[in-house]
Amino acid sequence: MKNDNAMDIDYVARLARVALSDEEKATFAKQLGDVLGYFEKLKEVDVDGVEPSAHPYEVSNVWRADEPGPAFTVNEALANAPARRDGQVVVPKVVEDA
């Protein structure tokens, strides 16, 4: 099938911060090309002057009182961390040696 809706999968995967295998790139490019082709339907709709909806119905700002309450202990907050040391999350080095 001719595909006019190819996306630059390398570029989008980089934006999305997801490592994809070559096989995944090939499969997704084809499948998502079909999906984008299907999205073309939306061009038929007259949307002149229509407000976009980000939400199912109108809501204005919702506020709650800013009051101190119970919070996690350090151990609770770190309980799901993949690596920790001295009450902190361990990550790969992000700063070059001087």
Q: Of 3, 6, 83, 87, which one interacts with another protein (CB under 8 A)?
A: 83
Q: Which residues of 12-24 are buried (b: 16+ CB within 10 A; e: fewer)?
A: ebeeeeeebeeee
- CA separation for the pair 79, 75 (Å, rounded): 6
55 binds another protein (CB under 8 A): yes
Which residues contact another protein by CB under 8 A? 7, 9, 12-13, 15-21, 24, 27-28, 31-32, 34-36, 38-39, 41-45, 47, 50-57, 59, 62, 64, 72, 76-77, 79-83, 89, 91-94
